[in-house]
Homo-oligomer: A and B are copies of this chain.
Amino acid sequence: MSWNTFGRTLRFTTWGESHGPAIGAVVDGCPPGIALSEGDIQPYLDARRPGQNKFTTQRQEPDAVRILSGVFEGKTTGTPISLLIENTDQRSKDYSEIANTYRPGHADYAYDAKYGFRDYRGGGRSSARETAMRVAAGAVARKVIGEVSILAYVAEIGGDAVDPANFDAGEIARNPFWCPDAAAAKRWEALVDEARKAGSSLGAVVECVATGVPAGWGAPVYAKLDADLAAGMMSINAVKGVEIGDGFGAARLTGEQNADPMRPSLNEGGNDGPRFEANHAGGIAGGISTGQPVTCRVAFKPTSSILTPVESVTRDGEATEVRTKGRHDPCVGIRGTPVVEAMMALVLADHKLLHRAQCG
């Protein structure tokens, strides 16, 4: 019910504005006795952090996370884990001239319509800066689901998709795009650089695969694992679409093509579940995990912060034009990749606990 809280059993609440003194998250319901330190969280924040190369915003922030509660002698205590990052590189002046103008494609007008006014500095609460706290909370969630491995990567930028035949997980960390296809990464370099120089922006599709999820997580009907994933992913800034498994592609298949046939387990006892011969379903049936990899795809729109002037209105309803001169990403989907991983971890960890509550 909370506006700024996500999760059912493992819940986290984020707070903070882009240009306030700090941002933070409170992770509640974490099992006790799990080894946790800032060192477990910081690498994920570093991966998300802007300013690392010319393909992402040049805002420079160390984004050093502090754990303020819920950990004692290096282990989680079962009480709320408070995470905090100070905002250090804020340059509020960059945004002063948009205080009275609605940036098209941004939440400016919607916030004003809802609340009557807004913190206009860097988008305030609507800034993608909030996602840093998802990444931090997600690092905690990963500790809760040690049996699961999560891998996200960019599958498409500006309509240029990776070739599944070239998929190489090792490649992902070797280029600035989280791209699993070396050839595509090469092409994207030109593509994104061109957009950057032109002050334009590009959309992206991020794919995420979680392996090791046991069968049985999720629940009918409104706590379906895929419904919670959809909510989690759609709540990320700039996301406009979510697919589980084949997603919209499944709508173009016949029932025969879409079938995920099952074969007996290779394990003699058979208690590791059936072998599936396909995974169109993305590892979820009836809202419950099947033991196959849980897969989803997430569409990021191009950021609306572009140099080309776009028609808009002022707060007083007068016509104006807006072009964004601040520091922005030519393709926000790139930096969204660690956020997608974090949300996958948070949803799965929550459902692990939820399943344990009901089914022991």
Q: Could you tell me the distance in whole angstroms from the C-beta of A208 to the nearest C-beta in chain B? A: 14
Are A13 and B13 in contact, with the CB atoms below 8 A? yes
Q: Could you tell me the distance in whole angstroms from the C-beta of A213 to the nearest C-beta in chain B? A: 11
Given A125-B79, A224-B235, A234-B242, A3-B32 contact (CB < 8 Å): no
Are A126 and B220 in contact, with the CB atoms below 8 A? yes
Are A203 and B251 in contact, with the CB atoms below 8 A? yes
Tell whether A308 is near chain B: CB-to-CB under 8 Å. yes
| Chain B residues whose CB sits within 8 angstroms of the CB of A302 once the complex forms | 250-251, 253-255, 257-258
Q: Which of B75, B234, B313 contacts A264 (CB 8 A)?
A: B313
Q: Could you tell me the distance in whole angstroms from the C-beta of A137 to the nearest C-beta in chain B? A: 11
Q: Could you tell me the distance in whole angstroms from the C-beta of A9 to the nearest C-beta in chain B? A: 5
Tell whether A56 is near chain B: CB-to-CB under 8 Å. no
Tell whether A93 is near chain B: CB-to-CB under 8 Å. no
Tell whether A156 is near chain B: CB-to-CB under 8 Å. yes
Q: A125 vs B72: C-alpha distance in the bound complex, in angstroms? A: 11
Tell whether A353 is near chain B: CB-to-CB under 8 Å. yes
Are A357 and B356 in contact, with the CB atoms below 8 A? yes
Are A306 and B255 in contact, with the CB atoms below 8 A? yes
Q: A333 vs B252: C-alpha distance in the bound complex, in angstroms? A: 12
Are B230 and A312 in contact, with the CB atoms below 8 A? no
Most chain B CB within 10 A, of A215, A231, A251, A261, is at A251
Are B72 and A258 in contact, with the CB atoms below 8 A? no
Q: Could you tell me the distance in whole angstroms from the C-beta of A117 to the nearest C-beta in chain B? A: 7
Are A254 and B359 in contact, with the CB atoms below 8 A? no
Q: A118 vs B73: C-alpha distance in the bound complex, in angstroms? A: 10
Tell whether A259 is near chain B: CB-to-CB under 8 Å. yes
Q: Which of B75, B214, B262, B305 contacts A313 (CB 8 A)?
A: B262
Are A1 and B9 in contact, with the CB atoms below 8 A? yes
A-B contact pairs, 11 of them (CB 8 A): A1-B1, A3-B28, A13-B28, A14-B221, A72-B124, A107-B286, A110-B289, A227-B231, A230-B231, A254-B302, A354-B357
Given contacts A15-B68, A114-B355, A255-B303, 12 further A-B contacts (CB under 8 A): A15-B82, A17-B77, A109-B215, A226-B235, A237-B286, A240-B247, A240-B250, A253-B302, A254-B306, A256-B308, A261-B311, A264-B313
